[in-house]
Amino acid sequence: MQFRQGMLGVAIVAVAIASALMGSWIMSMDVEERSVTVYNPLMDVTGLFDSDLAPEYTEYSPTTNYTGYYTSSTIIDGVKYFGGVDYVEASRPNNYRLLLPPTSNTVTTVDLSQLTGDEDDDYKMHYWTDNGTPSVNGSSVEHLTIPELLTALSIETSGNLQVTLMDPFSTQDYQSGGFITFITADMLMERSNVFDTWYAFYMKDPSLTGQLKEPVINYDKYIPAADVTNPILAAVYDSTTNSVQLYYDVAMTEMAGTYTPDAVSICWQNSGFLGDSVYIDAKNFPPYSYMDPTKGVQLE
């Protein structure tokens, strides 16, 4: 490659100028130091925590948006009754019925031995504590139907009344007794001899399984434990539906059924296997009230 005379010098000068410009640009750059923390994962912990990629939804209830107001003073026995706002009452029933607090609430424990039981019919209890012959075999008990009990206690059953009746003890000794119980009319079996007529009912310790020896003299006869009811310890009377709900436990989680008030009797003994006291919680509620949602609500 040949350069014209003088061109080689021009090329050398151009390269020198370009190198000088590049060097000055590099030298003019600012240098900034930064500290960087780098984590070294030792284990996967994602399996140690519950996670869900699905969104969480809350069921929308337009009725509750209007009728769900309450205050600390309207929470009774854990139930949140309507309160804290003013509203306009609807002229006819609708979907916006209000759960208003009771106008009166009577809580007491009654000594049933002070009451006179039904003297017309003799009720006898047979109760098993083991699979042999009943340990309580044909013992007479005092009894009153639910309406008879409320009348004896001067509890007015008109209006919107709800009465909870239960054994006053949170735990029961199914072997030694001491609890009151409720029975239904279909549990009673008519018995008689040449001298008398009575009505028997069967109950057992809830832990018993297998076969139970019947309370019959002179020969062996057995019935399945599953066919003998456990003690029924709680009842809820509702005057608006004229019904009684029965429960096997005082926490009222194990329901025994729903019956008419006249078909349910409370049973006790003034001395014997059964106890003689009952816890009563009687609430009177105002007439049903319905909100006019078009008028809204206002804070009191």
Task: Extract the tokens encoding 96.
Answer: 């916006």
Contact 298, 69 (CB under 8 A): no
What are the beta bridge partners of residue 203? Answer: 127
Mean pLDDT (the chain) is 86
pLDDT digits over 91-143, tens only? Answer: 899 989 888 998 888 899 999 999 999 988 999 999 999 999 999 999 999 99
- Please state which of the ranges 31-35, 69-73, 107-111, 112-116 shows the lowest mean pLDDT: 31-35
Which tokens is 137 given? 């075999």
For residue 250, the surrounding DSSP H or E stretch is none
| Contacts for 107 with CB less than 8 Å, ≥ 6 apart | 279, 280, 281, 282
Better-predicted residue by pLDDT, 192 or 27: 192
Q: Which helix (H) or strand (E) holds 191?
A: strand 189-192
CA pair distance 234, 179, nearest whole angstrom: 11
CA quadruple 289, 293, 296, 300: dihedral, nearest 10? 10
pLDDT of residue 134: 93
In terms of phi and psi (left: phi > 0; alpha: psi -120 to 50; beta: otherwise), the region of 295 is alpha
Instruction: Give this prediction's pTM.
Output: 0.74
